[in-house]
Structure 1
Amino acid sequence: MKMTKYSHSCVRFEKGGSVLVLDPGNFSEVEEALDGADAILVTHEHADHIDRERVLPILAARAGLHLYAPEPLAGSLREAVGEDVRARIHEVAPERTVEIAGFAIRSFGGQHALIHPLIPVVGNLAYLIEESIYHPGDSFIVPNGLTATTLLLPIHAPWSKIGEVIDFLIACGARTAYPIHDALLNGNGRGLVEKHLERFGGMYGTRYVHLAPGDTVEL
């Protein structure tokens, strides 16, 4: 399976001619990521994870493209599109195993990490793809019994600090970790964060690998 990282939390998976895209948000190269995609999978409603103004027109224009999201996000998206598009927007419930565009997906619920007590907490689903690749969305949830070999690691966010990122990296115990949620980092900040992740990951058996937008790896 091929994985391509785009800016921030957007990743594209290709397997057997099928294409699944996660979290095409407003910091990401949405049009490029969705080129030829069969399905879109979204973790939560924030704009850096789904750019409605760009994603919904693409969804409307491509009859074979489907979108999967937590409720109530799926319901909100249905209200923003025409009747012919609504049937291609699907709800994903937590603690389920589903098949999306030929990819096996396990979902885990369910809240966004706390930013501040005065900022409302929204729902968030984490996804395990093909029983091996873990995308936590905006959370540091470690599901009971998680055995992911690849971790997509949110390395910087308004809701996290570097110590929490390191603890999450260690707790997941994946063989390899790649960065997501990184669009707000400049070069100096990224270098500092990734140095810690390389060092602590190595101590606990996880190889942290830098990826730039557009980089592709075989998983």
Structure 2
Amino acid sequence: MKLTKYTHSCVRLEDHDTVLVLDPGGFSEVEEALEGAQHILITHVHPDHFDEEKVLAFLKKNPEVTLHAPDAVVDSIKKALPNAAATAVTADGQLELSGFTIKTFGGQHAIIHPLLPVIDNVGYLIDDNLFHPGDSFVVPHGIEVKTLLVPLHAPWNKISEVIDFIIAVRAQKAFQIHDSLLAENGRNMIVGHVTNFGKKYGTEFEYLPAGTSVHI
């Protein structure tokens, strides 16, 4: 499986002669990531994970493309494009998309502040290999994750939680997501911590600059 990392939380997967894109959000290179895609997965409705305008423009031009996401995203898509192939997903489900097997986990966005309502968030495990948690530190149950996408920095997390997430999942390999709010000095510090702690618990962490592709 080929993984291409885009800015923030967007990744593009290519396998089974199919392109699958996760979280094409407003901080990401959405048009580039979506080019040639057959399927789109979105973890939650926040604009840094779901660029509504650009996703709708792509779906209008490519009506055969399917989109899978929590209700809030699907409702927004259907309101603007009633005939879109958009389907709501919840946690503890499974999808079969052109050779990809996707299992869903979690259900809720991490708490930003007690005064802010908690929204739906679904994490996706692709082919029992790659786990994209969205904005959550939910640990997939009943499965050994091979490749983990780690939210490095957000208004809802702190470095100890990032480290504990890596330790809990114990994937063989990890790459970063949710990193575009970091200045270089802060990013280097966090990358150092997760790299060092990952090694202690059997996880090899690698920082991927935007536009970088790897095979997993």
Question: Residue 38 of structure 1 contacts residue 65 of structure 1 at CA under 8 Å; is this kept in 2?
Answer: yes
Equivalence map 1:14-29=2 (5 Å): 14-29=14-29
Partner of 1:8: 8
Question: Residue 146 of structure 1 contacts residue 172 of structure 1 at CA under 8 Å; is this kept in 2?
Answer: no
Question: Residue 19 of structure 1 contacts residue 101 of structure 1 at CA under 8 Å; is this kept in 2?
Answer: no
Partner of 1:168: 165
Q: What TM-score do the two structures reach when normalised by structure 1?
A: 0.96
Question: Residue 136 of structure 1 contacts residue 152 of structure 1 at CA under 8 Å; is this kept in 2?
Answer: yes
CA distance in 1, matches of 2:154, 2:121: 15
CA shift for structure 1 position 182: 0.5
- Superposed CA deviations along residues 84-131 of structure 1, whole A, max 9, x for unmatched, are x33x11111221111123210000131000000111110000111001
Residue 63 in structure 1 maps to residue 60 in structure 2? no
The amino acid across from 1:204 in the alignment is: Y
Number of residue pairs aligned between Structure 1 and Structure 2: 216
Partner of 2:194: 197
Listed as ranges, the gaps of 5+ residues in structure 2 are: none
Partner of 1:213: 210
Listed as ranges, the gaps of 5+ residues in structure 1 are: none
CA shift for structure 1 position 203: 0.7
SS where residue 121 of structure 2 aligns?
Answer: coil
The amino acid across from 2:66 in the alignment is: H
CA shift for structure 1 position 16: 2.6
CA shift for structure 1 position 76: 2.6
Question: Residue 43 of structure 1 contacts residue 49 of structure 1 at CA under 8 Å; is this kept in 2?
Answer: yes
Partner of 2:74: 74
Q: What TM-score do the two structures reach when normalised by structure 2?
A: 0.97
CA distance in 1, matches of 2:22, 2:73: 15
CA distance in 2, matches of 1:94, 1:174: 21
Deviating beyond 2 angstroms after TM superposition, the runs of 4 or more aligned structure 1 residues are 143-146
